[in-house]
A and B are shown apart, each in its own frame.
Chain A
Amino acid sequence: MANQVCFKFKQHNQAESWTLAAYQALGGYKVIKKILNEKIAPETLIAELKTSALRGRGGAGFSTGLKWSFMLPRDEAARERMKGVQKYIVCNSDEGEPGTCKDRDILRYNPHALIEGMMIAGYTIGASKGYNYIRGEFWQPYQRFETAIAEAYKAGLLGENILNTGFDFDLYTHLGAGAYICGEETALLESIEGKKGQPRFKPPFPASYGLYGQPTTINNTETLSSVPSILANSGEWFLNLGKPNNGGEKLFSVSGHVERPANYEIPMGTPFADLLNMAGGVWQGRKLKAVIPGGSSTPVLKAEIAMKMNMDYDSIAAAGSMLGAGSVIIMDDSTDMVKTLARLAHFYYDESCGQCTPCREGTGWLTRILHRILHGEGRPEDLELLDNVSNQIMGNTICALGDAAAMPVISFIKNFREEFQYYIEHGRSMVG
């Protein structure tokens, strides 16, 4: 099924698909031109997005149409008050979750789709400035995106009075410095402002107090890049690609123990088994042991449960995990779950910003216990303790990093308890 209705990578077969010429040859920038020339009402665009059931591709899965609608004035009085207020559209390309690499490919192969998506967003919410926050390690994607911006400016697609329609839109790239936490939207805003990347307490939400204290919308790269295609066709079209409440196609980054790890764009609701097949199945003919379906922070699933689920928000939630950013990590039967969890826990410990107590102290504690178990010094009561500490972090922190650190621990111990018990008893792994 791969590459059948792939609108984001439909130019893949072309040489230099990332150029303006290649994008325009396939109808690029037609949507924004139409919107600007016909001065289509923002409400109309938002209604179309709502119909499409496009949900945030960064992991939280919040309705994009609804999010944009927060930026429109509620009544005449609000419209008057908001006159002349600087708003911002910010794209979150700080793709840092272990297992995720989809946004990188959008930036590398289809940057103009993102620029057009951001322009549409800017037009809709009334923002004349946009920022794309790109992960610090993404040097080539950063260069590609910068080149694309330069091309767009040269072609008169960005800047002041775009195509003589009176619409102004400036787009800037901000290269991060490698902190995972800056993928959290308010930490990302702090980072753009030149401060230490630490999440803000909400409320106030970015829609009322965002970048530099101004109303701001933050969307994921994939979300924004999907917008031109949706509006070029229709909300209905996109919705029908997937299933109700889970519109469209979605990129899945398949990694781990498969023959062909890659990004796969498939309709929402595709069975997991099909996706696994596309990736060539479990490598070396081994057996599937576990799947993390949405990136390392989402709960791990046992093979038999994973094989029964479909790849959409609701189905994965029903299976006991989350679709997240669509980063599917495949583990075969040689995987040492204790070691895997210890590595994951260390990642979140390392990336905790340190601002709030449960995450700062709790992630360190989890890591140290797991490290101890891994070195043969585990105690039977440690499993209870790990579960307990994780639950003490869950829900008590400013941002979701606390939950992200806790969920793998809880799910690994719940699903593979006997492996942990074996490790504690014998001081070595059950799987050799």
Chain B
Amino acid sequence: MARIEIDGKTYEVEAGKTLIEITDAHGIEIPRFCYHKKLSVAASCRMCLVDVANAPKPLPACATPVWDGMKIQTRSPRAINAQKAVMEFLLINHPLDCPICDQGGECELQDVAVAYGKDRTRFIEEKRIVIDKNIGALISTAFTRCIHCTRCVRFGEEIAGVKELGATQRGDHMRIDTYMTDTVNSELSGNVIDLCPVGALTAKPSRFAARPWELHTAHGIAPHDAFGSHLEFHIRRNQVMRVVPRENVALNEVWLSDRDRFSYQGLYAQDRLTAPMIKKDGQWQTVDWESALLFAAEGLKKIPAKQLGGLASATATVEELYLLQKLLRGLGSNNIDHRLQQVDFSEKTTKAPFLNQRPADLAQADVVLLVCANLRKQQPLLNHRLRQAVLHNHAEVIRINVYDYPQNFPVSHNLTVAPHQLVATLAGIAKALDEAQPAFKNIEISEQQRAIAACLQKNNKKIKVLLGEAADNLPQLASIRTLTALIAKLTFATFSETGRYANSAGAILAGALPQQTLAGQAISGETGLNAQQMLSQSLQAYVLLGFEPELDSIMGATALQTLQNAPFVVAINGFCTEAMQGYANVLLPMALFAETSGTYVNNSGDWQRFTAAVAPVGSARPAWKILRVLANLLDVHDFAYTASDEILNEVKMLCETSAQTVEDSTWVLSAPQALCYLTEPAIYAGDALVRRATALQATADAQACHGAHVNQRTADKLRLSAGQQVKLSQNGGSAILPLVIDAALADDCVLVYTGLAESAGLAHDVGTIDLTAA
């Protein structure tokens, strides 16, 4: 502890902390530009200079550690003179055109200038002009406004892990510029917009759309990955104008992924469904809610319960998913599922994917085994915690996957194998950990597997085993999960599953599954049909919640075909597409993210409630209300909810009183295939909202998801070359795509991303795929 005096007042503080940390904690105002609590200290803007007794010069509060007996004056003439001097220097070359600057009204420079600036300039020379640069679809630049605080540069080095922005040139020619690439491509790039204290880096999608003082804010929860970042909507006249992070120490800290930041654009897509519609005699007509719901209820009433199926996206809320399964089960059907990206349904029970630790615990890891995880692009802020473990704790990372995703930290063992080899690899590692198990009798252990096992067997170290979202798409899911969990058990590691969607865990807890209901309880009676069965054999009727079969389902074309064959389909959706008009009989417009209240359960196990920030577009309504009225019309009991909290309370009560039981599962080796078909949702097309966010579609990450990907060896073997149009054909679907040579793939694999129109013609067929020149 140290006893210090600030402006004549004595404080007991922790020795070694920087002065600005102390003053910030005590609400003492010290102006600053380059300092940011989550970045390293640059001490370069000099705005935070303060007067320290016995120091020959004013000292920067951001870089000066406190010592016992220190006396600081933040408002003495020496401090004020230094601060005013810096302020004048910052303003001489800064364009004073705040009225036409997008940052005007929320600009740190503007705010500080009010307190420390002069109302007359002494600078009569010509001001500096810096030529702008287009650095991509998300960030707009006005480099003449830059005050060289280098927060954006440090962000790239320290948080995003890619040095995309740097300070080039020197003296007053110094400028922020891209090097190596022309654009900023990080999946976290949007954070530099928040970091920039002036209008040099602003959000391109919302540029010049609104003034800060016209906006009001509302809280929300990010709707894409399972990390559950906290965010804030900036709203004008009932329209979400932009999204920014809301600080949450336990989760996203002060950051937000680009996907969570810019997906709000999807809310105002051209194809938003704004009014209920029904199809009568082959003609679509817009009707009022009552007629639409009656029409839906009438249609569903005629269907025998076993012929009724319900499919929902895992971006739906706990309340919506719970009501959907309650409705179907109330009608006598267990045909309900949300696992639209899964092909292996051999596991008897489904457990909610949880990290079983806090994200901050991951940052303390010593050894981490990542299996089938693309954390960097799929859960960027969880990846950030892992990166902190590597940088600050020197954690060793072992990565095993079917695709060699680029990492932003060093990996000590990096294995990219075809899916059928994945099981053998994991089994080899497990055997190296426990050779005595009879199940491993025929397994060979390679040198590398032995080395990985040795890496994981460390005493007194924090070992973490993470099973990622990419496993869901593989036909070997059950075996992979079993073996990964076994490895975790044998190494006394924390076993984590990341999940993929905002509510992957919530959907399972809410019981949106054919074989288990709320909180993982097994159902009484016959198990219903799973997503794969429902989407390959036509039932007589479906209720779809936020689900676009050709894009959301891994079975694409087959799913669409199946729904087209169904006699009666009720689609509750935020959008209206041509495909929907083809298979649906009723279209019920639902409120989307930001427009509805509800709860997501993230992979940390937090039940995160949110309320509606804006009223729904048109006459769209929250899906829980739609489901409630539908249930009432269908005479299903216990549907007298008046608020979403009532639903949540019911769910939570049941979740707290029942424990999930998981049966021991088994694993099998899989046979090799001539050409293995790999697929995963494209980074910015994984759900209905984000695939309509136009700015994100223009990013390099989104562009990289197009085409059919094979590695060079596979291309040579098939006598195909890069850029060539190739035909992919399989049982139930085909597509013509340009060939992309992708060194990140294992041999004899072809990767096509789902969620894109170009690949919607494909159907997942675990058997074969043919790749020929088109």
Contacts and interface: CB of A to CB of B under 8 A. Distances in A.
A391 to B, nearest CB: 8
Contact of A396 (B41, B57, B92, B93): B57
B399 interface: no
Given A354-B170, A357-B45, A396-B58, A365 B85 contact: no
Contacts of B93: 361, 364
A174 interface: no
A365 B123 contact: yes
B171 A392 contact: no
Contacts of A181: 170
B44 A355 contact: yes
A369 B125 contact: yes
Contact of A365 (B43, B44, B92): B92
Contacts of A361: 89-90, 92-93, 172
Interface-central residue, A181, A355, A357, A360, by most chain B CB under 10 Å: A357
A361 B49 CA distance: 17
Interface stretch (A16-24, A45-53, A81-89, A345-353): A345-353
B287 to A, nearest CB: 64
B174 A360 contact: yes
Contacts of B171: 349-354, 360, 363-364
A392 B125 contact: no
A81 to B, nearest CB: 18
Contacts of B85: 358, 392-393, 396
Contacts of A354: 148, 167, 169-174
A14 B171 CA distance: 45
Contacts of A393: 85
A188 interface: no
Nearest to B83: A396
A372 interface: yes
A428 B86 CA distance: 33
A357 B57 contact: no
A395 interface: yes
Contacts of A385: 122
B46 interface: yes
A28 to B, nearest CB: 40
A363 B170 CA distance: 12
Interface in B162-176: 167, 169-174
B89 A358 contact: yes
B174 A396 contact: no
B82 interface: yes
B60 interface: yes
B125 A357 contact: no
Contact of A357 (B56, B89, B122): B89
B88 interface: yes
A369 B125 CA distance: 7
B512 interface: no
Contacts, number: 96
A140 B45 CA distance: 39
A365 B93 CA distance: 9
A196 interface: yes
A326 interface: no
Interface residues of A, number: 31
Given A365-B92, A372-B125, A396 B49 contact: yes
Contacts of A201: 41-44, 60, 63
Interface string A391-405: 011011110000000
- Classify chain B's interface size: 35 or more
A201 B43 CA distance: 7
Nearest to A350: B171
A277 B128 CA distance: 48
A278 interface: no
Contacts of B170: 179, 181, 196, 351-354
A351 B170 CA distance: 8
A368 interface: yes
A357 B63 contact: no
A430 interface: no
B96 to A, nearest CB: 15
B172 A397 contact: no
Interface-central residue, B88, B90, B170, by most chain A CB under 10 Å: B170
Contacts of A179: 170
Interface string B115-155: 00000001101101000000000000000000110000000
A276 to B, nearest CB: 33
Nearest to A368: B125
Interface majority SS on A: helix, strand, loop or mixed? helix
Given A201-B63, A356-B46, A360-B148, A396 B86 contact: yes
B172 A392 contact: no
B683 interface: no
Nearest to A403: B57
Contacts of B86: 357-358, 396
A269 to B, nearest CB: 27
Nearest to B65: A203
A351 B173 CA distance: 11
Given A354-B148, A357-B86, A398 B172 contact: no
A362 interface: yes
Contact of A392 (B42, B43, B89, B173): B89
Interface string B475-503: 00000000000000000000000000000
B321 interface: no
Contacts of B389: none
A392 B46 CA distance: 12
A356 B172 CA distance: 10
Contacts of A196: 167, 170
A357 B167 contact: no
Interface in B26-79: 41-47, 49, 56-58, 60, 63, 65
A385 B43 CA distance: 26
B172 A357 contact: no
A358 B172 contact: no
A288 B57 CA distance: 36
Given A201-B63, A392-B88, A356 B45 contact: yes
Contacts of B45: 356-357
B58 A357 contact: no
A392 B57 CA distance: 12
A354 to B, nearest CB: 3
A358 B92 CA distance: 11
Interface-central residue, B42, B85, B169, by most chain A CB under 10 Å: B85
Contacts of B173: 354
A358 B125 contact: no
B37 to A, nearest CB: 17
Contact of A398 (B43, B58, B89, B147): B43
A385 B122 CA distance: 8
Given A353-B170, A354-B174, A357-B44, A395 B88 contact: no
A426 to B, nearest CB: 21
A363 B92 CA distance: 12
Given A196-B167, A352-B172, A364-B171, A357 B43 contact: no
A292 B230 CA distance: 61
A352 B46 CA distance: 15
Given A385-B122, A392-B89, A357 B174 contact: no
A255 B350 CA distance: 85
A364 B82 CA distance: 18
Contacts of B123: 365
30 contacts: A179-B170, A201-B41, A352-B170, A352-B171, A353-B170, A353-B171, A354-B171, A354-B173, A355-B148, A356-B43, A356-B45, A357-B46, A358-B46, A358-B85, A360-B174, A361-B93, A361-B172, A363-B171, A364-B171, A364-B172, A365-B92, A368-B125, A368-B126, A392-B88, A392-B89, A395-B56, A395-B57, A396-B58, A396-B86, A398-B44
> What are the 7 tightest A-B residue pairs by CB atom distance, in nearest-first order?
A354-B174, A392-B85, A361-B89, A368-B125, A395-B57, A201-B43, A352-B171
Given A355-B44, A369-B125, 4 more contacts: A196-B167, A352-B172, A354-B173, A357-B148
Interface of B: 41-47, 49, 56-58, 60, 63, 65, 82, 85-86, 88-90, 92-93, 122-123, 125-126, 128, 147-148, 167, 169-174
